[in-house]
């Protein structure tokens, strides 16, 4: 099934329409929730119960780390802003840079996922993301082990060491966990320093701005929550979201079978599914549709019977059940 088989030209035009204003709202929403997360801890007056707002902040900030990654994804598809320059600027500086990601590197990597969704990856051909979900379902004990690793700082080092190497150009950009080192020219100590400053400047600058703002409002210690959430709850939410999108599905070329949509509640949007990322089959169906139009697209496809023979997961609890069906 192709988009033109289900959607009229007028509907496709509406769904594919980008908006600079809506893109700006998406950016402001994520950063607004980030600011709110810091504020609820900073303004909490009761020291003995401070763990409550800290826990809430870790959940919300982990979700917003994921949200910024989703905005990198949307900008990669040129689907965040209508204006190309705004799409590249905000995608780089307000989404990718704070997360130690590269918009250019991610774009090259991710397009291959769409081209070969569900295909085994060999010799740089196939779906590079297949490694993330190919072993599911697994036992409850195994999944529990991985999720505990995510929440106890043990999954994150590999990710961020990889991102560091990828940003420095030492390793091929690949978020699946595969390690492919790239040949390097000879450099002296000053060459390595220059490379580090040049390649890591966006990350260092964006995080310095976050820390400086917190310092100026008298709460520099809150930056630790930004780091802690990146190393824990972000890893946890990302794993489950990844499983939901392509896990436990046939490895076939049909996007209706190899990609899943998940219906979510409001609290799941604040954890696993920011920026409508749960409408993943819709995204694969027509990948240039902006995230803020995916709910509208879902309604249209549902009314046309597209989901009549497709299993739609009912929340991420349903995903965990499917993931541990072994």
Task: Give the β-pairing of 262-263 and 313-314.
Answer: parallel
How far is the C-alpha of 199 from the C-alpha of 8, rounded, in Å? Answer: 45
Q: Which long-range contacts (CB under 8 A, 24 or more apart) does 283-286 make?
A: 284/114, 284/117, 284/255, 284/259, 285/3, 285/255, 286/3, 286/7, 286/12, 286/15, 286/16
Specify whether the CB–CB gap between 292 and 18 falls below 8 A.
no
**Which residues contact residue 60 at a Cβ distance below 8 angstroms, ignoring those fewer than 6 apart?**
33, 34, 36, 37, 270
In this predicted structure, the answer to whether residue 120 has a pLDDT above a threshold of 90 is no
Give mean pLDDT, residues 290-305.
Answer: 96
The count of other CB atoms within 10 Å of the CB of residue 276 is 22
Dig out the tokens for 298 from the structure.
Answer: 């879902």
Whole-number mean pLDDT of the chain?
95
pLDDT tens profile 236-272:
999 999 999 999 999 888 888 999 999 999 999 999 9
Closest by CA to 202, choosing from 68, 84, 74, is: 68
In this predicted structure, the answer to whether residue 21 has a pLDDT above a threshold of 90 is yes
Specify whether the CB–CB gap between 88 and 79 falls below 8 A.
no
Confidence of residue 220 (pLDDT cuts 50, 70, 90): very high
Provide the residue ranges of all domains of the chain, joining segments of one domain with +. Answer: 3-95+104-323
């Amino acid at each position: 099934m192709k988009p033109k088989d289900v959607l009229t030209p007028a509907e496709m035009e509406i769904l594919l329409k980008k908006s600079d204003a809506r893109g700006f709202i998406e950016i402001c929403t994520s950063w607004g929730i980030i600011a709110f997360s810091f504020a609820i801890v900073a303004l909490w007056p009761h020291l003995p119960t401070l763990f409550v707002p800290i826990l809430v902040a870790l959940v919300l900030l982990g979700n917003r780390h994921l949200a910024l990654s989703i905005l990198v994804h949307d900008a990669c598809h040129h689907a965040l802003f209508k204006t190309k320059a705004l799409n590249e600027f905000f995608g780089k500086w307000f989404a990718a840079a704070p997360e130690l990601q590269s918009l250019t590197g991610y774009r090259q990597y991710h397009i291959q996922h769409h081209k070969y969704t569900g295909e085994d990856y060999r010799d740089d051909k196939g779906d590079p993301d297949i490694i993330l979900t190919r072993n599911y379902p697994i036992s409850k004990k195994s999944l529990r082990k991985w999720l505990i690793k995510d929440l106890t700082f043990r999954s994150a080092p590999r990710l961020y060491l990889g991102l560091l190497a990828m940003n420095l150009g030492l390793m091929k950009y690949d978020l699946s966990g595969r390690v492919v080192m790239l040949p390097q020219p000879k450099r002296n100590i000053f060459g390595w320093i220059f490379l580090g400053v040049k390649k890591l400047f966006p990350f260092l600058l964006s995080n310095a701005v976050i820390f400086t703002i917190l310092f100026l409002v008298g709460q520099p210690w809150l930056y630790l929550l930004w780091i802690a959430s990146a190393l824990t709850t972000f890893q946890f939410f990302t794993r489950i979201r990844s499983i939901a999108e392509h896990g436990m599905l046939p490895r076939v070329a049909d996007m209706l079978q190899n990609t899943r949509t998940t219906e979510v509640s409001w609290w799941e949007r604040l954890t696993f599914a920011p920026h409508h990322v749960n409408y993943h089959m819709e995204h694969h169906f027509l990948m240039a549709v902006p995230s803020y139009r995916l709910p509208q697209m879902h309604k249209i496809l549902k009314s046309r019977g597209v989901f009549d023979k497709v299993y739609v997961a009912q929340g991420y609890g349903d995903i965990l059940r499917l993931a541990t069906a072994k």
